[in-house]
Amino acid sequence: MSTAPKVILVTGSGSGIGKAIVERLAGEGNTVLLTDLPHVIDSLDTAHLQSGVKVHPLDVGDEHSRTEVINTIAREHGKLDVLVNCAGVGRDARLTNIKDEDLAFTLGINLFGAFSLIRQALPLMQESTGGAIVNIASRAWLGIFGSGAYSASKGGLIGATRSLALEVGHLGITVNCIAPGYIATPLSATLPQEVLDKTLRSIPVQRGGVPEDIAAAVRYLALDGSYVTGQVLTVCGGRSIGDPTSR
C-alpha cells in the first residue's frame, strides 16, 4: 500500500475498542469514518473529535444502512482503502436457554453483517492500489463455557477471513483477523469482582488489555502488513497459550 493518507471505515466505533482504533488511525493523517448505531452517534461529543474523523450512522445488521454508508464513501471520497469490522454484540446464554432470536441476532451482527459489508465494500476498495480488511473477532473463538453463540460467530468470522484472503489477494487486498482477549472497557467493568480478579490472574503478562492495544495491532495490519494475509493475531497477553496460575 502507498504511504498516502487512507480512507478508512471502522464499524462499531462510537466507544471502546472501535473508538481507540479511530483515534489511532486518524492521528496519522488518515480520513476515518467513525460509524455506529444512530443513538450512539447522537450521544457523541463531536466537537472534540480529531481532524479527519467523519461521523456516520451505521447499523451493520441492516442491508440498507450498509449500502448507505458505502454509497456515502463513494460519493464523498471515491475510494475505500481500509475496512475494520469492529461492531459486535454478545447476546448469549447456555445451549438449553438461548432463544433462536438471540442466536440469529448474534450471528447476524458478528458474522453475517461483517461478511456482507465486506462484499458491498469490495468494488469500492478495488479503486485503491491495494487495501486491507481487518476483522475483530475474539479469543472466544477457542471456546467459552456458556457462550456458544458468541464463540460460533467469532469462529465463523475467522473462517471467513481465511477464505476471503484467498479470494482477494490478487487484488492487492489483505484480509486478517484480530482476536482480543480480556480488554478493559465499560462492558468488562461490569463483571463481578471475583470474576475480574480471576481473569487478571490468568493472564501471563499480569495485566488486562486496553483498547489501545488492539488499536496498535489494527494499525499494523491496516497500514504496514501488506505481506500478511489470512492470519489471526491473538492479542491477549498470552492467555491463549496457557494459565500461569496453574503452576
Positions marked active-site: 150
Q: How far apart are CA 77 and CA 72, in angstroms?
A: 8
Do 138 and 150 contact (CB within 8 A), yes or no? yes
Nearest CA to 32 out of 88, 71, 73, 66 is that of 73
Q: How far apart are CA 102 and CA 104, in angstroms?
A: 5
Q: How far apart are the first and last CA of the chain?
A: 45
Beta strand spans in the chain (E) = 7-10, 31-36, 53-57, 82-85, 131-136, 173-180, 232-235
Q: How far apart are CA 22 and CA 7, in angstroms?
A: 11
Residue 22 cell numbers, joined: 479511530
Please name the amino acid found at residue 2: S
DSSP 8-state class, residue 191: S
Cα 115 vs. chain centroid, distance in angstroms? 12
Residue 90 cell numbers, joined: 454478545
Do 160 and 115 contact (CB within 8 A), yes or no? yes
Do 173 and 119 contact (CB within 8 A), yes or no? no
